[in-house]
């Protein structure tokens, strides 16, 4: 069921999303070679708590037999890790890595969700291009995130743009509605047919998140039950924001 947020609920969403925006602004200056993903996760959790929020991902139970509750405040995925990388003291960030961080802040009963891929040191121009295309795919999608369009229009725009740039989208994971729950209806794939799906209405809050692979779209799941990697070892990037559907243009809540 899709929830249309009231004005009061929207203000609570803004508060939660502002914490996420602050988090990424700070992380961009803190991430560096030699630190572990566990250290980065600890910094992220501290920032959330300092801003009156808690990490919604920590302790999240997917309800899948044999898969443990998620143990950290963030998902941190390096290079060929697509999403859901589990922070570890043994996973060290190196010069030339690209690091995707995905986190959800819960504040006053509402969630804010966003993801960024950071460059650590110097990387080839083609790697920078992957990250730029992933970010632009989000903005291509939200051109259709307004009344009069459907979810399929957003999905189609993302997928067509990514493919036009020679990259692949992840098909097994998708964006989603968000509010009191981290994951709400509707699901928002990064590919699809224009003119299909749920009609977009003011008051919806959506987490739109292109996940883009430099090579083929095939993915694998590691034994930890969480981490998703590219099958061919190619790089992957992730860009996500929580947005509010208004009467006119969408409002991006996780950028300040």
As a whole number of angstroms, the distance between CA 133 and CA 126 comes to: 10
**For residue 95, how far is the Cα from the chain centroid?**
23
Residues 6+ apart with CB under 8 A from 37: 76, 78, 85, 87, 88, 91, 92, 93, 99
Looking at residue 154, its pLDDT comes to 98
- All structural domains of the chain with their residue ranges: 7-252
Name the band, by pLDDT with cuts 50, 70 and 90, for residue 62: confident
Stretch 153-181: mean pLDDT: 98
Continuous segment of H or E residues that includes residue 208: strand 205-208
Looking from the CA of 244 toward its CB, the CA atoms found within 13 Å total: 22
Mean pLDDT computed over every residue of the chain: 97
Name the band, by pLDDT with cuts 50, 70 and 90, for residue 66: confident
Q: What is the CATH number of domain 7-252?
A: 3.90.230.10
Looking at residue 169, its pLDDT comes to 98
Question: With the CA atoms of 62, 65, 71 and 72 taken in that order, what torsion angle do they form, in degrees rounded to the nearest 10?
Answer: -30
Name the band, by pLDDT with cuts 50, 70 and 90, for residue 136: very high
User: Strand pairing of 241-244 and 236-238?
Assistant: unpaired
Looking at residue 1, its pLDDT comes to 86
pTM for this structure? 0.97
Per residue in 102-124, pLDDT tens? 999 999 999 999 999 999 999 99
DSSP state of 249: S
Per residue in 223-251, pLDDT tens? 999 999 999 999 999 999 999 999 999 99
Name the band, by pLDDT with cuts 50, 70 and 90, for residue 194: very high
Do 2 and 198 contact (CB within 8 A), yes or no? yes
169 Ramachandran zone, left/alpha/beta (phi>0; psi -120 to 50): beta
142 Ramachandran zone, left/alpha/beta (phi>0; psi -120 to 50): alpha
Kindly provide the b/e burial profile for residues 242-251, where b requires at least 16 CB atoms within 10 angstroms of the residue's own CB: bbbbeeeebb
């Amino acid at each position: 069921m899709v929830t249309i947020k009231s004005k009061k609920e929207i203000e609570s969403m803004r508060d939660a999303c502002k914490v996420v925006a602050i988090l990424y602004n700070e992380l961009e200056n803190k991430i560096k070679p030699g630190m572990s993903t566990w250290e980065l996760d600890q910094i992220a959790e501290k920032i959330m708590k300092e801003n009156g929020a808690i990490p919604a991902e920590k302790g999240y139970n997917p309800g899948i037999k044999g898969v443990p509750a998620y143990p950290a405040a963030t998902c941190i995925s390096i290079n060929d890790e697509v999403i859901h990388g589990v922070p570890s003291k043994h996973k060290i960030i190196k010069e030339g890595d690209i690091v995707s961080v995905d986190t959800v802040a819960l504040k006053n009963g509402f969630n804010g969700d966003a993801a960024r891929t950071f460059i650590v040191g110097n990387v080839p121009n083609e790697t920078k291009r992957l990250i730029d295309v992933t970010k632009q795919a989000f903005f291509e999608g939200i051109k259709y995130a307004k009344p009069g369009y459907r979810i399929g229009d957003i999905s189609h725009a993302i997928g067509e743009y990514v493919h036009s740039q020679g990259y692949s989208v992840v098909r097994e994971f998708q964006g989603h509605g968000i509010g009191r729950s981290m994951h709400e209806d509707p699901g928002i794939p990064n590919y699809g047919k224009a003119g299909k799906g749920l009609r977009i209405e003011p008051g919806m809050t959506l987490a739109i998140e292109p996940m883009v692979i430099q090579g083929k779209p095939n993915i694998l799941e590691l034994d930890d039950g969480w981490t998703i990697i590219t099958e061919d070892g190619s790089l992957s990037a992730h860009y996500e924001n929580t947005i509010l559907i208004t009467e006119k243009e969408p409002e991006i809540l996780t950028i300040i």
